[in-house]
Structure 1
């Protein structure tokens, strides 16, 4: 998050049944280069980035910022989960009054199909709800990405709109915050 608000950062590691979500460290750099250079990972996000460019430009400690979690499985990095405020210059729905954080996640292909994305995102959303009570979270993905569409529904995101960007149809949804009573507040659209 560019403006962490009431949340302390770095967040304490978040432990799930199989994973640890934690702040990035220098030892994670090689795995993150691999993640961003993977053609499979890049399929729905505009393509892989050139490995030589990543090696040259990625900081020694990549992703060292509020809202950036490394997903660790048994001591090995398998992906990331992030929360970012949307850049107004980026293509997407025009919601100037919303200001919600956008959930993003990427996992290495060898980690796909095992439920790690759902586990990591659910844990990160739990952290976010505690750190930023009452705030909505948004998610955007290509409609062609069946796995991401299923995960969005599983995590409780509701479609707000579809739009064209980057040469493909995009899906935009929000997840309403949970109130202290445990009820989900209505989405603002």
Structure 2
């Protein structure tokens, strides 16, 4: 996945992203609603996968002006094993500046135009009000709620206008 937004470049994850990926998975704020920081052994396995082809569904988010790694975004199979899910994790210093909305909007457009998906979902903890607002701001609507990982999760969905 290689995309550009006004302020960001989204490119395929590469081995040089290891340090940024490590930061994302170990940051307590980023992982607050995602089960907490990930153990280093698991992170090493995840990082090892950076060398594998990803079919254009995982991307590093780089801020154009500074060249800084600000997070990751992906389109991958959801827990329901039916729908594709947009997922994102940005480092806290980039929160509240519109980067999340900019990046998720671009990835949804990519999912519909390039991957020809009819529907994309996103799952977030109901307690993660910032993520809920972000998903709603890009046009996603609450579809259902589930209990998963011991917490109430909200499943959001958006449909490709060409298929509704």
TM-score strictly above 0.5:
yes
Match of 1:41 among 14, 23, 30: 30
What is the count of residue pairs matched by the alignment?
161
Unaligned runs of 5+ residues in structure 2 are none
Moved more, 37-46 or 50-59: 50-59
Residue-by-residue CA offset, 1:124-175 (whole Å, 9 max, x unaligned): 1111111133510011100100111001111111111112111211101210
Bigger radius of gyration, 1 or 2?
A: 1
Query: What is aligned with 1:78?
Result: 70
Give TM-score scaled by structure 1 length. 0.78
Structure 1 portions without partners, runs of 5+? 1-10, 89-95
Question: Which residue is equivalent to 1:176?
Answer: 159
| 1:50 and 2:33 aligned | no
Q: 1:161 matched to which residue of 2?
A: 144
Aligned-pair RMSD on alpha carbons? 2.0
2:135 to 152, 163, 188: 152
| CA gap 1:133/1:109 in 2 versus in 1, 3 angstroms | same
Moved over 6 A (4+): none
Map 1:1-189; keep pairs closer than 5 Å. Answer: 11=1, 13-51=2-40, 53-55=42-44, 58-59=47-48, 61=50, 64-66=53-55, 67-73=57-63, 74-88=66-80, 99-133=82-116, 135-179=118-162, 185=164
Shift of 1:60: 7.0
